[in-house]
Amino acid sequence: MTGRLQRQLSSLGHASSADTALRPQSPKFRAVPTLGNPGNHFTMAFPKDELVLVTGGTGFVAAWCIVKLLEAGYRVRTSTRTPNGEEKVREMLKVAGFSDPTTTRLTFTTADLMRDNDWPAAVKDATYVLHVASPFPMGAPKHEDELIKPAREGALRVLRASRDAGVKRVILTSSFAAIGYGQPVSEKPFTEENWTNIADTSITAYTKSKTLAERAAWDYIAKDGGTMELATVNPPAIFGPVLSKNLSTSIQLISKLLTGRVPVAPQIMFGVVDVRDVADIHLLAMTDPKARGERFLANSSPSMTILDISRILKERLGSAASKTPTRALPNFVLKLAAKVSADAAMIAPQVGKQVYMSNEKAKMILGWAPRPSDEAVTATAESLIKLGLV
């Protein structure tokens, strides 16, 4: 296997996971006209006195949750790992087209998932908590505990502090990674009843971390949660309008496709959802009484392959997508590459598998209405172009 192919496979390993952490991608970010007011299910009908804590505020999903909460009239506090998070988050609000990015209804606190003492102040006076923050790998970790420990223990820290502070409900951002891996191939769609089989030897550390963190959260609520309520949101690969130069792994896939860094496409299929719809379902699960104690698989339809995405980009963007691949990478090549490349090894177990998932529960219980998958993909590419990131 050539070094070139190894580079092409880099960061495709988690394309089917929820992207809750960010990493730098392009130095070309520049200020551009805002993306406009995003479509959503929530409008500011009247001021709300309720405070919502959103953890990991500089992340892709968390930032859009903040936008939606502010648009709905909530007071929001967000946690970031470092004190310079406020400037980053407010800039992201500006890019999202939020009318008042300097609003005093948004406040900030510094909190680390691995420190107990940070969280009592973070959750103080909050009615709801959206626990979005979670570690996400830059590559395959040397040891799986580098991901499992902060994901599981971080979730428990937030839950304990929330219970002690009298929080009404916590929404945990989990992932399809906690639902659909280590399972036999089937044409039957995955639902919230499914759990990833962490005993399967092909499971990655990230997938195991998301599964164990969600399991630990449900166990905690059952044994020690008191009257506090929990619901989880389990999205697959998250696309949609980017708000900064820091790109999640799924967004990096679109960037790589547009810039010709994936000349041949690995034959993997994954679920797709728009980040704005992920934010919407967090708010719906936060307030709907019927969401108590429920998991919600937050996917759009249909599931897609990398070649599907490439075709959509070519149809919608024309010459701007001229470098996207038109040929599939033979499966045997990827499996050979997996013997020498950690990146290839992460996605090799998914090669050739058909992945179907059902969002009927979220639609029926919450009235959630996500955009079609092709709109999520197109919005991603258009925002990358508008922000000068490709």
At 58-110, the pLDDT tens digits run: 999 999 999 999 999 999 999 999 999 999 999 999 999 998 888 999 999 99
∠ CA 289-290-291, rounded to 5°? 90
Q: Tens digit of pLDDT for each residue in 102-145?
A: 899 999 999 999 999 999 999 999 999 999 998 665 556 677 88
Q: What are the structural domain ranges in the chain?
A: 3-386
What mean pLDDT is predicted for residues 44-53?
A: 73
Query: Of residues 177 and 34, which shows the higher confidence score?
Result: 177
C-beta neighbour count of 219 within 10 angstroms: 12
Highest mean pLDDT out of 142-151, 270-279, 330-339: 270-279
* Residues in the chain, overall count: 390
191-194 contacts at long range (C-beta below 8 A, 24 or more positions apart): 191/297, 191/357, 191/358, 191/360, 191/361, 192/234, 192/294, 192/295, 192/296, 192/297, 192/361
Q: Which CATH architecture has domain 3-386?
A: 3-Layer(aba) Sandwich (3.40)
| Angle at alpha carbon of residue 270, lines to 273 and 385, rounded to 5° | 55
pLDDT for 45 beyond 50 = no
For the chain, give the percent of residues with pLDDT over 90: 71
